[in-house]
């Protein structure tokens, strides 16, 4: 049985994020980060530069909602704030992604709320100290552009460390930062549909579109199936809880429909941004084209805070779906099955298939594939060929070989992701994924790796070594329209255009796990990708599924697009207001981007 973790995501904590928050106290490892001159540090809570209660109060009155102190989710499970009923409810809900997305201090992967020295575990004893960890000190509950402008202006004037958080799915916890002011965009939840979208410039786009607030969770967008339209949406897992307009599109956004309709970032027609200096702009192909290019794939929030995004809407199509599960009796059978699949993948992509290919324990392999407008004859002639070949491999037992047709994406999503009852073959339903520590690492797999039998075999052997307990999600979400899009269309790593799949591994733990074990898991997750990195030197990771240990992250995240991104960043954010881990412009800053170190 595949674990939930193995199919979706979970998150993590990182030792390199571990420095204590306050600036003057200098970190842990004495050799790291020499004390920087004060002019190159951001102001964090607890320092003399931090605004007084009175100043916060005056600022608060200018906003649509009062500011509030942010607490880690486990706050009420510990003295002196212990509250039995609240704590119980927190413990009950902790694994629920939607609940976590509603907690300002929570990340989906709770390890990002902590530092190794400061935890606030909901599993801990009541008498354990609840530390603030990486949870920001104060938050603005932003619901208007004006809120975001005022918050950024206030942060700028006072040199405050600022973080932007949406639904908290980031795999490096980039929505949080110790001692910071958080701008929370989760409550920008609007959703509208236009039959013929008009840009702000007045020009008609000639296509229908869905306009969303960044915090709108994609679940709602399925309502648009009623209008016979579909948008490329975020988050196969977690009850569709990924926000529609924060990290997902700004970092890329893949979906099983991407080979047919493009990546999330490819589908954005226009977006509103509050720039780091508080200026409000609308970016589109003809308005601030540099920012429009950079924001789509450059990663949030490096170029500003998005407050409204417009996605192209596409006609719905019926989806022909295939479900396949195989058990292998020996490592050799597993490798041969994977070799066969890898060899078949380019042709499957060309035939219009896309999907996910989970595997486990060197003895299990599955496909959840779909083909828009497909039918049995065509399906048999394409994917059927692979299944026939798989059947013939000694030591391979086919457990599931089923097909079915869904009238549209919404039906497929409900049946296979949201509704735990209608599961064909294996259970891909990611109902409960939040509230664990998770570490991830990913690598894009170019088409040529599948076409070359030697590299394809190297990948099969590498997948054999993935131990039980390490989760993975291997989305075949490239090729097709993704490959037909120009590598400079937006800021996505150019390898997205040549890759067919994005392999990602996940390690997970609960927050009582000892640091040494956690460090071991994190290293293991990164190391498991080494054979794939070695096959594509200078290749790409998916920046929304980032490896904290990835060598040379600017190259891994953006490749040849990085120099242009850095130029745009320097122009729009000369004072480095909006920096995050592995973000554009963060080179030369400490692990929490509080002080410049070089």
Ligand X SMILES: *[C@@H]1O[C@H](CO)[C@@H](O)[C@H](O)[C@H]1NC(C)=O
Residues that bind ligand FAD (CB under 6 A): 8-9, 97, 108, 163-171, 174-175, 185, 214, 234-238, 242-243, 246-248, 250-254, 300-301, 305-306, 433, 544, 580
Among residues 402, 416, 391, which one has the least CA distance to residue 327? 391
Distance, CA of 411 to chain centre: 24
When binding is defined by CB under 6 A, the residue of 20, 124, 285, 395 that contacts ligand X is: 124
Q: Does 375 bind ligand X (CB under 6 A)?
A: yes
When binding is defined by CB under 6 A, the residue of 31, 52, 125, 486 that contacts ligand X is: 125
Q: Tell me which residue has its CB nearest to ligand FAD.
A: 247
Enumerate the β-bridge partners of residue 471: 506
Q: Tell me which residue has its CB nearest to ligand X.
A: 420
When binding is defined by CB under 6 A, the residue of 89, 129, 373, 575 that contacts ligand X is: 373
Minimum distance of ligand X from residue 11's CB (angstroms): 18
When binding is defined by CB under 6 A, the residue of 91, 363, 405, 452 that contacts ligand X is: 363
Q: How far is CA 505 from CA 440, 464, 518, 546, in A?
A: 6, 13, 15, 10
Residue (22 or 351) nearer to ligand X, CB? 351
Minimum distance of ligand FAD from residue 321's CB (angstroms): 17
Residues near 237 by beta carbon (within 8 Å), at least 6 away in sequence:
7, 8, 9, 97, 417, 430, 433
Q: Does 279 bind ligand X (CB under 6 A)?
A: yes
Minimum distance of ligand X from residue 135's CB (angstroms): 14
* The entry of ligand FAD, ligand X, none that residue 392 binds, CB within 5 to 8 Å by partner kind: none
Minimum distance of ligand FAD from residue 30's CB (angstroms): 29
The region of 27-35, 42-50, 309-317, 425-433 touching ligand X under the rule CB under 6 A is 425-433
Residue (277 or 405) nearer to ligand X, CB? 277
Residue (7 or 387) nearer to ligand FAD, CB? 7
Decide if 244 contacts 101 (C-beta within 8 A): no
Number of helical (H) and strand (E) elements in the chain, helices listed first: 18, 20
Decide if 443 contacts 502 (C-beta within 8 A): yes
Strands 437-446 and 354-356: unpaired
Minimum distance of ligand X from residue 377's CB (angstroms): 5
> Which positions from 174 through 233 interact with ligand X, judged by CB under 6 A?
187
Extract the tokens encoding 421.
Answer: 């009852």
Extended beta strands in 344-498, E state: 354-356, 359-360, 364-372, 396-406, 437-446, 471-473, 475-476
Decide if 140 contacts 147 (C-beta within 8 A): yes
Q: Whole-angstrom Cα distance, residue 597 to residue 176?
A: 20
Q: Whole-angstrom Cα distance, residue 433 to residue 252?
A: 22
Q: Whole-angstrom Cα distance, residue 199 to residue 270?
A: 7
* The entry of ligand FAD, ligand X, none that residue 305 binds, CB within 5 to 8 Å by partner kind: ligand FAD
Minimum distance of ligand X from residue 179's CB (angstroms): 19
Residue (82 or 378) nearer to ligand X, CB? 378
Decide if 569 contacts 294 (C-beta within 8 A): yes
* The entry of ligand FAD, ligand X, none that residue 110 binds, CB within 5 to 8 Å by partner kind: none
Q: Residue 575 CB: number of other CB atoms within 10 A? A: 10
Among residues 456, 457, 504, 466, which one has the least CA distance to residue 362? 466
Q: Whole-angstrom Cα distance, residue 543 to residue 298?
A: 9
Residue ranges that bind ligand X, judged by CB under 6 A:
4, 65, 68, 104, 123-125, 141, 143, 187, 275, 277, 279, 360-361, 363, 373-378, 380, 384, 387, 420, 423, 427, 429, 431, 468, 512, 551-552, 555, 571-572
């Amino acid at each position: 049985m595949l674990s939930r973790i193995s199919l979706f995501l979970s998150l993590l904590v990182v030792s390199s994020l571990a420095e204590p928050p306050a600036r003057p106290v200098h970190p842990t490892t004495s050799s790291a980060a020499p004390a920087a001159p004060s002019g190159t540090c951001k102001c964090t809570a607890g320092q003399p530069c931090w605004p007084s209660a009175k100043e916060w109060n005056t600022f608060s009155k200018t906003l649509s909602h009062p500011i509030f102190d942010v607490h880690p989710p486990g706050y009420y499970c510990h003295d002196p704030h212990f509250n039995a009923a609240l704590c119980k409810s927190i413990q009950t809900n902790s694994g629920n992604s939607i609940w976590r997305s509603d907690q300002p201090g929570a990340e989906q992967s709770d390890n990002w709320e902590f530092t190794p020295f400061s935890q606030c575990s909901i599993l801990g004893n009541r008498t354990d100290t609840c530390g603030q960890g990486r949870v920001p000190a104060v938050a603005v509950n932003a619901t208007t552009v004006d809120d975001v402008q005022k918050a950024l202006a206030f942060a700028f004037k006072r040199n405050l460390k600022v973080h932007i958080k949406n639904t908290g799915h980031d795999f490096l916890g980039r929505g949080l930062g110790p001692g910071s002011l958080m701008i929370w965009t989760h409550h920008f939840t609007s959703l509208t549909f236009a039959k013929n979208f008009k840009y702000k410039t007045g020009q008609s786009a000639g296509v229908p579109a869905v306009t969303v607030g960044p915090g709108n969770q994609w679940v709602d967008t399925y309502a648009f199936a009623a209008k016979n339209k579909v948008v490329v949406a975020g988050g196969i897992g977690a009850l569709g809880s990924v926000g529609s307009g924060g990290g997902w599109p700004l970092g890329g956004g893949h979906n099983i429909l991407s080979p047919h309709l493009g990546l999330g970032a490819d589908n954005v027609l226009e977006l509103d941004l509050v720039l780091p200096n508080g200026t409000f702009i609308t970016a589109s192909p003809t308005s601030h084209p540099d920012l429009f290019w950079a924001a789509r794939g450059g990663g949030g929030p490096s170029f500003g805070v998005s407050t409204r995004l417009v996605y192209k809407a596409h006609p719905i199509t019926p989806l022909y779906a295939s479900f396949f599960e195989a058990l292998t009796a020996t490592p050799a059978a597993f490798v041969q099955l994977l070799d066969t699949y890898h060899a078949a993948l380019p042709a499957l992509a060309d035939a219009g298939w896309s999907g996910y290919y989970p595997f486990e324990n060197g003895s299990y392999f599955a496909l959840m594939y779909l083909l828009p407008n497909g039918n049995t004859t065509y399906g048999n002639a394409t994917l059927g060929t692979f299944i026939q070949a798989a059947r013939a491999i000694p030591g391979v037992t086919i457990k599931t070989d089923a097909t079915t047709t869904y009238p549209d994406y919404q039906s497929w999503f409900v049946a296979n992701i949201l509704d735990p009852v209608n599961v064909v073959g294996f259970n891909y339903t990611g109902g409960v994924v939040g509230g664990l520590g998770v570490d991830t690492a990913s690598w894009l797999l170019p088409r040529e790796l599948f076409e070359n039998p030697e590299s394809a075999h190297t990948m099969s052997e590498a997948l054999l070594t993935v131990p039980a307990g390490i989760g993975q999600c291997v989305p075949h979400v490239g090729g097709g329209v993704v490959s037909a899009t120009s590598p400079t269309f937006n800021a996505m790593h150019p390898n997205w255009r040549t890759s067919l799949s994005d392999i990602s591994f996940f390690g997970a733990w609960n927050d009582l796990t000892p640091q040494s074990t956690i460090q071991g898991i994190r290293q293991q997750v990164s190391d498991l990708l080494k054979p794939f990195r070695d096959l594509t030197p200078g290749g790409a990771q998916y920046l929304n599924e980032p490896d904290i240990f990835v060598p040379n992250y600017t190259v891994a995240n953006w490749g040849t697009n990085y120099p242009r991104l850095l130029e745009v960043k320097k122009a729009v954010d000369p004072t480095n207001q909006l920096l995050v881990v592995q973000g554009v412009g963060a080179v030369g800053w400490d692990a929490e981007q509080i002080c410049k170190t070089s």
